[in-house]
């Protein structure tokens, strides 16, 4: 009861504060918070760039970027009013929604999935069917549906020990490098590069992409939508907040456009934001992240209906969700308005000509 009262008081305070902030809007700035789903790294470069280049300030926002980690669930933070905006993978947000959190996807920043299942050539794993009777790694933490869906598609039951041995792997590639798993889950912008940044003890050289077999879930057809921006629906419905959200998206998109067109400068911004990872690794990561965003055929932030339906249908088929999520779980209008505003100022919000650059891998990612 006490907690509810404190919560209610908090809500009143927030309302009063919100009203005051609204009243002092001309010249003043509105404070909002963004909860990332992981530590500072190029995966969130656009937001750091928007803050560093003053794009948020230009639209009257003072954005506090909160770092995440394995123990932070952004949906929980946003649902309990610890932040206005959150970043998460779509299936995780949908699961939270089903559990009663009134969250809504307002911008699908990543158009493609960045998840891979990586193995050494010697294991001869080139397609999902080859995982049969092998030791296959996944992080868990809600990152497994793409893998499990691919397995079931190939006739392998991930819950049957006679079909496959699922190994929960830590957030590094030690198990693959020590030969404790036959295949390991890797994000193309992170762990995959971590393997390439290691020296092969046999050759004394860095591991080469030619030494690895990569299964890309986009190609398998079980990819699911990943990084998107979500808010509380009840927050969004309050007068003035749609405008704040649109401004936030506009500035964030501008940050992403900047990071596409100025990769070196953008990496420097990420490094200054307090990442613990090296410059080489962050450069690799930004290049790959850009490839997940660009091109955005319908403009940055738009949910592609086909990709959404695939995510939803895999989520329900493989019991991430009990029932099919409603289409109210996402909306495209705010992102469209934000992208249009950006476009009219001359920015390219589609990035049709974007091509991945060749980034040289550095030892240890330094």
Partner 1 sequence: MSRRLRQYLPAAAIFVCVLAGWELVVRAFSVKQFLLPAPSAIVGALLEHRDELGAAAASTLYEAVGGFAIGGVAAIAVALATARWTTARSALMPFAIAANSVPIIAFAPIMNNWFGVLNPLSKMMVVAVLVFFPIMINTVRGLTLVDPASLELMRSYAASELGILLRLRIPNSLPFVLTALKVSATLALIGAIVAEYFGGAQSVLGQYIITEAAFFRFANAWAAVVVASAASIAFFVIILALERLAIPWHASARSPDA
When asked if residue 224 is in the footprint of partner 1 (CB under 8 A), the reply is no
Residue with tokens 């992403």: 256
When asked if residue 144 is in the footprint of partner 1 (CB under 8 A), the reply is yes
Q: Which is nearer to partner 1, 100 or 201 (CB)?
A: 100
The CA-CA-CA angle for residues 111, 96, 290, to 5°, reads 20
Nearest to 184 by CA among 121, 116, 132: 116
The residue within the footprint of partner 1, chosen from 72, 101, 347, 350 (CB under 8 A), is 101
Q: Report the relative pairing of strands 103-107 and 228-232 from DSSP bridges.
A: antiparallel
Q: Which is nearer to partner 1, 101 or 214 (CB)?
A: 101
When asked if residue 298 is in the footprint of partner 1 (CB under 8 A), the reply is no
What is the C-alpha to C-alpha distance for residues 250 and 340, in angstroms, rounded to an integer?
A: 9
* Token pair belonging to 322: 């009990």
Shortest reach from residue 249's CB to partner 1, in Å: 25
Q: Which is nearer to partner 1, 144 or 288 (CB)?
A: 144
What is the C-alpha to C-alpha distance for residues 159 and 29, in angstroms, rounded to an integer?
A: 52
Residue with tokens 């970027």: 65
Q: Which is nearer to partner 1, 168 or 199 (CB)?
A: 168
Nearest to 215 by CA among 144, 285, 119, 132: 119
Shortest reach from residue 130's CB to partner 1, in Å: 19
Nearest to 100 by CA among 72, 80, 70: 80
* Token pair belonging to 265: 């400068």
When asked if residue 142 is in the footprint of partner 1 (CB under 8 A), the reply is yes
Under 8 Å between Cβ of 187 and 115: yes
Shortest reach from residue 205's CB to partner 1, in Å: 23
The residue within the footprint of partner 1, chosen from 162, 178, 264, 344 (CB under 8 A), is 178
Contact region with partner 1 (CB under 8 A), list: 12-20, 24-32, 70-78, 209-217: 70-78
Shortest reach from residue 17's CB to partner 1, in Å: 23
Shortest reach from residue 180's CB to partner 1, in Å: 5
Shortest reach from residue 81's CB to partner 1, in Å: 12
The residue within the footprint of partner 1, chosen from 67, 174, 218, 262 (CB under 8 A), is 174
Nearest to 278 by CA among 187, 199, 211, 190: 190
Under 8 Å between Cβ of 68 and 74: yes
Question: Taking CB under 8 A as the rule, which mask of x and - marks residues 180-219 in contact with partner 1?
Answer: xx--------------------------------------
Q: Which is nearer to partner 1, 27 or 100 (CB)?
A: 100
When asked if residue 24 is in the footprint of partner 1 (CB under 8 A), the reply is no
When asked if residue 169 is in the footprint of partner 1 (CB under 8 A), the reply is yes
Q: Which is nearer to partner 1, 84 or 182 (CB)?
A: 182
Instruction: Note the Cα 72 to chain centre separation in Å.
Output: 14
When asked if residue 297 is in the footprint of partner 1 (CB under 8 A), the reply is no
What is the C-alpha to C-alpha distance for residues 12 and 101, in angstroms, rounded to an integer?
A: 20
Question: Which residues pair with residue 120 across a beta bridge?
Answer: 212
* Positions of E strands within 27-70: 30-35, 61-66
When asked if residue 268 is in the footprint of partner 1 (CB under 8 A), the reply is no
Q: Report the relative pairing of strands 212-216 and 115-120 from DSSP bridges.
A: antiparallel
Under 8 Å between Cβ of 335 and 107: yes
Shortest reach from residue 37's CB to partner 1, in Å: 11
The residue within the footprint of partner 1, chosen from 73, 151, 229, 303 (CB under 8 A), is 73
Binding site for partner 1 (CB under 8 A): 1, 4, 73, 75-76, 79-80, 92, 95-96, 98-101, 135, 140-144, 165-170, 174-175, 178, 180-181, 320
């Amino acid at each position: 009861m006490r907690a509810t009262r404190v919560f209610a008081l908090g809500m009143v305070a927030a309302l009063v504060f919100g009203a005051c902030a609204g009243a002092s809007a001309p010249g003043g700035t509105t404070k909002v918070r963004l909860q990332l789903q992981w530590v500072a790294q190029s995966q969130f470069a656009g937001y750091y760039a928007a803050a560093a280049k003053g794009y948020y300030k230009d639209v009257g926002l003072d954005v506090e970027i909160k770092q995440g980690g394995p123990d932070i669930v952004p949906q929980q933070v946003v649902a309990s009013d610890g932040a206005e905006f959150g970043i998460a993978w779509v299936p995780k947000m949908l699961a939270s929604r089903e559990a009663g959190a009134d969250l809504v996807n307002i911008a699908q920043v990543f158009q493609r999935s960045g998840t891979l299942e990586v193995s050494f050539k010697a294991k001869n794993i080139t397609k999902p069917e080859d995982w049969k009777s092998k030791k296959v790694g996944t992080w868990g933490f809600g990152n497994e549906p793409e893998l499990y869906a691919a397995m079931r598609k190939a006739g392998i039951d991930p819950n049957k020990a006679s079909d496959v041995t699922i190994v929960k792997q830590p957030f590094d590639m030690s198990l693959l490098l020590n030969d404790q798993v036959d295949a390991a889950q890797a994000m193309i912008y992170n762990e995959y590069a971590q393997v390439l940044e290691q020296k092969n003890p046999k050759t004394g050289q860095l591991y080469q992409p030619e030494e690895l077999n990569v299964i890309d879930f986009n190609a398998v057809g079980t990819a699911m939508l990943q990084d998107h921006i979500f808010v509380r629906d009840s927050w969004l419905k309050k007068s003035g907040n749609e405008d704040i959200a649109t401004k936030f998206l506009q500035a964030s998109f501008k940050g992403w456009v900047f990071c596409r067109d100025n990769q070196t400068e953008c990496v420097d911004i990420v490094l200054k934001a307090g990442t613990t990872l090296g410059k080489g690794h962050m450069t690799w990561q930004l290049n790959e992240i850009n490839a997940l965003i660009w091109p955005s055929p319908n403009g940055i932030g738009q949910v592609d209906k086909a990709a959404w339906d695939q995510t939803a249908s895999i989520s329900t088929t493989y019991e991430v969700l009990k029932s099919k999520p409603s289409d109210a779980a996402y909306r495209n209008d705010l992102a469209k308005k934000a992208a249009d505003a950006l476009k009219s100022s001359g920015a390219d919000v589609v990035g049709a000509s974007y091509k991945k650059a060749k980034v040289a891998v550095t030892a240890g990612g330094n």
